[in-house]
Structure 1
Amino acid sequence: MNVLSYIDFSNNTFDDRSEAPSWFSTLEALTTIKMNHTNLRGELPAALFSKPQLQNVDLSHNSINGTLNISSNPSTQLQLIDLRDNQIDDFIQRSIYKESIGLILANNPICRESDVTDKFCSPQTNITTYSTPWNYCPPPLCGLGQVSSPNCQCACIGSIFFKVPSFSSLENSTIYISLHDSLKTFFHEAGLPVNSLSLQNPRRNMDDYLVIDLKFFPSGEPSFNRTGIFGLAFAFSNQTFQPPKEFNIYYFIPEPYSNFLKDNESTKHKSSKAGVITGSVVGGCVLVVLSVLAGMHLFRQKERAERPPQQSQPFALWDSTSSSGGVPQLKGARSFTFEELQNYTNNFSPINNIGKGGYGMVYKGSLPNGQPIAVKRAQKGSSQGGLEFKTEIELLSRVHHKNVVGLIRFCFDQGEQMLIYEYIVNGTLKDSLSGGSGIRLDWMQRLKIALGAARGLQYLHDHADPPIIHRDVKTNNILQDEQLVAKFADFGLSKPLSDADRTHVTTQVKGTMGYMDPEYYMTQLLTAKSDTYSFGIVMLELITARNPIEKGKYIVTEVKESMKRNKELYDLQDILDPVIGLSSPLKGLEKFVDIALRCVEDMGNQRPTMSEVVKELEYIMEMLVHSSSSLSTSASYGGWSKDYSNDSLLY
């Protein structure tokens, strides 16, 4: 056990004849021993205290007796030896005892001698000068996502997954030491409040990924504050930590950190009260329409019975026991047969292949009436594809908005799962910003795209029934039509908010690194403000054309470190995309940056809602319209206008 560092056998009823284990002295990596209340007896080996990594020893409330010998050369890292309530009657090193080591011998026979006044015999409550707080702090109240350390700290815990490590053996301790050291160095250089960390239980999961459990202990405080925990979130979610080359690609999944859970539960409680009041008002209206709904239901049942089997029961073969869940519940969406889509896509010809993602291939097709379509075809046998398929058709069958891509139909036939969307001619916003589409976006066009995308999110959050959190807001999922109208796509990771809880949903962390909300990342509580954070990243990407994480640098940090608020354009010219039109005035850009930075605040309650973001972007657009004498109508801005009489948006 040459890498064993932490032992805790406390509160176990060992046999009364159990001697203090001599093998403790052979553990070179040992840092902590906790064996209080275990019935240990006998003398402690002096060699134990000379282990080079040893920091803390708690053998209190036992029957250890004889002479205490901590050797003349104890570990330089030794902080505490807690031996209170034992039977020790002598201490060899009393005269050369180091003040830097916290030693507690209270309630031992040696402390009952009349001439002994050494402070290590004082009751615990009087010990105030040791360098470590372990001696006199109360037991930490660590909750979900935390584990107590010997020095009264609550750790952040989680697991790190390495997809393609270059080594196969899990028993090579040297490789883990290199990971430990690189993490420790990174935290120090990044100024993160991590005092120590622990790597445990290396193993392979079902996907053959290397999984290691991590614990991070805070520095100087009982638990991490929000700043510290978000610093850890950024380090992993945005890939600023670079592991040794042997480990390669990774991702980190933390346990929820309990501090934030309490705050969100309070918010949830307040929201539920408002829901009760609203429900009472609405309840009476329901009775009025029940008879109408019953009649409509009977009419629809009759209509369905008259349809062909594929049209009336497209999910007759759906496996509700699989990871994809129960049969999809749709609202108005209709299906195509596999043969129909073969005809519409020229038998899924490679020439018609216009994209590829984790879900599968995307093909361009054409309906008999000439309408172009995009067919998203899932990879066969993909459980993830089945779940995304179900999510998208359920959600998109309920939403209809100018800034959300339209679902035309679906196909669940002959083992195929396909989604048929309206075809969006100008591809993704990511392609336009990177130059891949050949479109050069000026400042006005970028502002228009940002406003359209914000309206799409606002609709999902405030007007969809139930409200929808997209969960994967990024430039790859924003499409542009022929007039550069932004449309949100790819709802495979989206989550609806149920009537029972309209504030957040607890769910496994999913999304795209660089765009992910750190609060959601560390708590697993997904809220509408999680989309707001991701949208803030999109806004910064719109003006810089940089990836969220580029050459190990995070776009939020780059903007904050470069900007000077007292200068024109906040002095961001060096990181702005030159294509944006730096030779002409970029009116409103400073306010645009302000909104983006508010969206990426660490805490969700400090971020604006998407409704507020829309209003702010509309204000910038109005400034540009009114300040340009060369543009006589708002039609020059690609169809943007505002009806000032009722403050509603027109498209």
Structure 2
Amino acid sequence: MPSASTTSVTVLLLFLSLLSLATSDDLQLLLTLKTTFQNPNTDALFASWTPTNHTCNFTGITCNPDHTIKSIELSSRQLTGTIPFDSICQLKSLQKLSLGRNSLSGVVSEGLRACVNLEYLDLAGNFFSSSVPDLSPLFQLKYLYLNKSGFSGKFPWDSVFNMTNVVVLSIGDNPFDVGPFPERVGELSQLKWLYLSNSNIEGKIPKGIGNLTELINFEVSNCFLSGEIPVEISKLKKLWQLEMYNNSLVGKFPSGFGNLTSLENFDGSMNYLEGDLSELRSLTNLVSLQLFQNNLSGEVPVEFGEFKKLVNLSLYTNQLTGSLPEKLGSWAEFDYIDVSTNFLTGVIPPEMCNRGTMKELLMLQNRFTGGIPASYGNCTSLTRFRVSDNSLSGIVPRGIWGLPNVGLIDIGSNRLEGPITSDIGNAKSLAQLWVYDNQLSGKLPPDISRATGLIEINLSDNRFSGDIPETIGDLKELNSLQLQNNNFSGRIPDTISSCAALNLINFAHNSLSGEIPATIGSLPALNSLNLSENQISGQIPASLSSLTLSLFDLSDNKLSGPIPESLYVEAYNGSFAGNNGLCSQKIKFFRRCSPDSGGSKDLRLIFLVIAVGVVVLFSSVSFITLYLRRSQKDHEKSLKEDSWDMKSFHVLSFSEDEILDSIKKENLIGKGGSGNVYKVVLGSGKELAVKHIWNSDSGGRRSSRSTTPMIPKSVKKSSEFDAEVQTLSSIRHVNVVKLYCSITSEDSSLLVYEYFPNGSLWDRLHSCGKMGLDWDVRYEIAVGAAKGLEYLHHGCERPVIHRDVKSSNILLDENLKPRIADFGLAKIVQANASKDSTHVIAGTHGYIAPEYGYTYNVTEKSDVYSFGVVLMELVTGKKPIESEYGENKDIVFWVSSKLKNKESVLNIVDSSIPEVYREEAINMLRIAILCTDRLPTLRPTMRRVVQMLEDGEPCKLVGIIVSKDGSKKEEVKVYDKP
């Protein structure tokens, strides 16, 4: 018989043999896993994963004492590829698998079910394209992270209820099929973290939620929940965060809600909650309270003023009354308050910036009284200061004007007094200055030019006086300048032409004199010009004809001489009224111009200049001819010598020389803030459109180095420009204009597109008598344009934000099918602007989303707003800006004001749309109203817009039934839908 010692040695050898075999198997499995995953720096990440190294020393691998693999931790490693669960789950001791926040894709296979010992599974933040498999065998799971991974289909709730020890369940941010909030959730009694936001879950929050007494975090935002907040939620006394915003919850805060004394973050905004805030007065640990956009009423509890941790308070768009607690926000490092659009009264709490950390003070559209507390003049951390539409009075504290970090000062529609002081020169971050409708006075200080980031200035309806400072021309980013209804005098400064980004100028109802600077006609982005009700004299500069304006008003001045023929536009009727010295050969109600119009002295001078010019011309013919011949030779020579880079994105039938030779004045067909557009006709007869983009600091001047005299100085090449063009070039969609190629040199950049002879939707709606635009065509244009934008937002590898959606950027082909043009061009121009330029293009007046005035951030939802304006144009036939809307009002405001009853709604539908289509037109108008919601989060996505438009497809006439009854003839029209 073998001895005991021999037996022990045998057992030990057997164990070591099995251990070696197991380790060898694990090694092969991990090496297989290594070949499956890819990473931008794979060699570095998996450098330790070699056959000669022990698996327990592999990066991201943790072992048990017996050297079997316990966990794989490879989260946030930029991994791509699919997950071979069939291999991974052969690691029988594996308890933790963490692959979250990578770029893994494909199907999560049933092989995952074999990982029966898993206690921790993290697949969050990936791009899977499958449903979640049945997880029933994984009953030992305690931590399950599947959020934001692209999972769809039905979620396997039944298998989750087998995981009785689960602590974290995070499945939000996935497009699961809509399903009810499961009643059995209360069975997961160990749950501490429940994340279901953006998961399409619907129905009521079950009463069983009260059984989750260990719950610390509960998030169900952006879902389809309805009903009241269950009273059982008051049992969750350990709750630290509760987020349920953007649902359809109703009713009051349940009795006992104040028992949640551990709650620090509560967001119940964008619901239909009502009642007062009394249940919240005992939540003394609150750090952030967000309840905006509900139906809450009553007063803000005085106890809020004693909350020692509170730093964020957002209660805007409710029906709150009374005053705010005097000590509100004075204890902690307060960050922001937004109580706008309520019925609050009393004074502004003076101590919210006690710690010098407050960034945003938003209290507009209330009934606050008293003055602006002087303490906020020292609050240098402020980035937004909005107290408009209240009843504030007194002098604006001097320091407010010079806050160094503030981007928006909005004090409009109050009774404030005093001047804008020279301190405004210190407001280096100021982009919007809105002080309209007050009693402010004094001169506009020249120091305003040192606030070089200014985009919008609105000083209208005040008592300002004196000259408009010449330094205004230093504001290179200025987009909107509104000085109407003041006492400004003197001349309009010529320097205004240096503000190349100007989109809107309104100087109406002042005492301005002198002549209209001819240089205003050189402003490439100008869309609205109102100089009415002043004392302006002289002739109308012919240069104004180069502008394309949606609003143009020179009425009630002292202008004289002929109205330039180029301004004989029906849309400008009334623009010249009240100028008795004007004459016209064509416009009714004006006297006919005599040969002496403009003054006999001026006429003699003109004849003299012409005579001299003729002499000079004849004497210079030989010189000019010689120069042109030499210039042409130099031009051809320089083209060969210069270095051009042509990148084609389609099979091309033309060369770069054909394009470059066509960039000349006679081929110019359009101008805009982003550059000139040229029509190019190839030798084959094919027509192209070429967009030439210039740098914002070039002013369109020709570079001294330029080897192509007819091409102005353009953007400097940059990697960001190349990246943006590369993105645009990859776009392939029937409703998006095709980009053929780009041609760039050091001084010039050209984008070559397909050309559309039918022009734009703007032309058809507003310039061509709505030619050919019956309702079917309008509907098809709306759907096609929506699909184009949907593709840009959702169909590309990364979203392409248009940034300037408008009817003039929707081109029409020979069949009036729409194409989205200039997509992403604003980003390209911005990428190549000067370093000091942070807001190169903000869109077009009348189409710009309101949040631009808050954050300057342009998102997909900004495009949705602009598209909503286009839909309103299609339904009403009106422009985004028209005088009938009222001062500073646009089509969105006008449409909203007409929604009182069905009759008033019908009256705004374009009269040329037949009655049978009126309901379809109103349906499109409803979609437009959704798109133009004030809050971006409430606007639909373009994907949803397409669905809504297609659901409302207009009925079509399919036949006419004619019947005769004796002498009576009847026709019955038959449509394809009831």
Which range, TM-score by smaller chain?
A: 0.3 to 0.5
- Name the larger-Rg structure: 2
| TM-score normalised by structure 2 residue count | 0.33
| TM-score normalised by structure 1 residue count | 0.48
Structure 1 or 2: more helix by fraction: 1
Compare relative contact order (CA 8 Å, sep 6+) and give the higher one, 1 or 2. 1
